[in-house]
Amino acid sequence: MTHSVMIFPEFALENGRTLKDVPVAYKTWGELNKNADNAIVVCHSLTSDCDVENWWAPLVGPGKALDTEQYFVLCANAMGSPYGTVSPLSVDPLTETHYGLNFPIPTIRDTVNLHKKLLDKLGVKRIAFPIGGSMGGMQVLEWGFYGDFVLALAPIGVGGRHSAWCIGWSEAQRQAIYQDPAWNNGNYLLGEGPSGGLSIARMIAMISYRSFHSFQEKFGRTTVDKDKTALGHFAEAVGSDSDWVFSSDEEHFSVEAYLHHQGGKLVDRFDANCYLRLTESMDSHDVSRGRGNYSEVLSRIRQPTLVIGIDSDILYPLDEQKELSTYLPNATLEVLVSDHGHDSFLIETETVNRIVTEWRQTIVEPLLRKNK
């Protein structure tokens, strides 16, 4: 496995703005074959990075869905993310200061266009298939408009455009950040940003990523005693030593402690301006934008497509994947049955691995052999 950064002298965004000295962080596994047509592009979700083995390990390796013996597997960091690709944390070469909130809103299409430049530089002649869930699934669908360069597609837990429901969740999270006194209109020093607002934003998001049954099974009405020792034991159990702020000194529900834990974890590894720009990027998602009628635009995606939906997903409901499978002319719909909600594609990894492996072997590989 290698971890690299490639810098492009300039990159033009959809909005007409051109960025200079644009870094793209990426990781690869396996080798590109002599025909340069065995690439699998993994597209990450909102707060993930390009190290797929950190969050999708059961899918990576010999004989698995992302077979590193047969394929050249690549994951590039999205624009706006704090993990190496150009983002609000990057230094603007024109001002020699961090972009901060002056960083433009990158569209999902911008990210895919930038990643296409990366693949061209690496010598990739064809993608066997891109795969990803949530924000990653949005990128997968955009790859569908690259014609013969992309052989097949595997979007997971996503629709063809961001719904009002999803935009509403995103805006609630952004407002949590804006209301933090440390927000300062985005002009904060690195490491001194609106940690409270970002933590609350993550707490809101975590509720949308799960389901009623998931929370009920995991937490129910169990509590964590107000005694600090008991809180410490809970922190150890969930892997956190963060201090939590509660509304009273009484005992607290376990779900409250869990949400505080998740918020604290994100603050330790993420940036508020990056979070804002990424959620705005997701809100830009609409495959029909500038292309025509929605259903007709989807019908232009001719590649064989594995659409995976989750029956308990409240953020991107199964109806959205059913819609994709209706309008995409060569689609197969697989339903992941799980109580864990949207995050099921990151939790039920053995099932996802099996579904993708079977599809790759029966659909993608015969097409690869045919196109030799």
**140-175 tens-digit pLDDT:** 999 999 999 999 999 999 999 999 999 999 999 999
- Region 23-44: mean pLDDT is 97
| For residues 73-98, average pLDDT | 97
* 349 burial type by CB count under 10 A (0-12 exposed, 13-18 middle, 19+ buried): middle
Q: What is the mean pLDDT of residues 280-285?
A: 98
The Cα 137–Cα 119 span in angstroms is: 18
Q: Model confidence at 234, in pLDDT bands (50, 70, 90)?
A: very low
DSSP 105-157: ---HHHHHHHHHHHHHHHT---EEEEEEETHHHHHHHHHGGGGGGB--BEEES
Instruction: Say if residues 139 and 163 touch (Cβ distance below 8 Å).
Output: no
Average pLDDT value for residue range 218-244? 59
292-336: pLDDT as tens digits: 999 999 999 999 999 999 999 999 999 999 999 999 999 999 999
- Answer yes or no: is pLDDT of 97 > 50: yes
Q: Is the pLDDT of residue 243 over 80?
A: no
Residues 6+ apart with CB under 8 A from 355: 306, 308, 334, 336
Query: What are the catalytic residues?
Result: 134, 313, 342
Q: pLDDT tens for residues 38-74?
A: 999 999 999 999 999 999 999 999 999 999 999 999 9
Percent of the chain with pLDDT over 70: 93
Taken in order of first residue, the domains within the chain and their CATH numbers are 2-162+286-370 (3.40.50.1820), 167-276 (1.10.1740.110)
What's the confidence (pLDDT) of residue 3?
78
Of 83, 89, 114, whose CA–CA distance to 101 is shortest?
A: 89
Residue 357 sits at φ, ψ, to 5 deg, of -60, -45
Q: Which amino acid is at 4?
A: S
d(CA 298, CA 145): 10
263: amino acid identity, one letter: G
pLDDT, position 238: 42
In terms of Cα–Cα distance, which of 145, 150, 153 is closest to 126?
Answer: 150
Alpha-carbon Rg for the chain in angstroms: 21
**pTM of the predicted model, to two decimals?**
0.94
> Which burial class, exposed, middle or buried, applies to 250 when counting CB atoms under 10 A from its CB (0-12, 13-18, 19+)?
exposed
Q: Which pLDDT value is given to residue 233?
A: 42
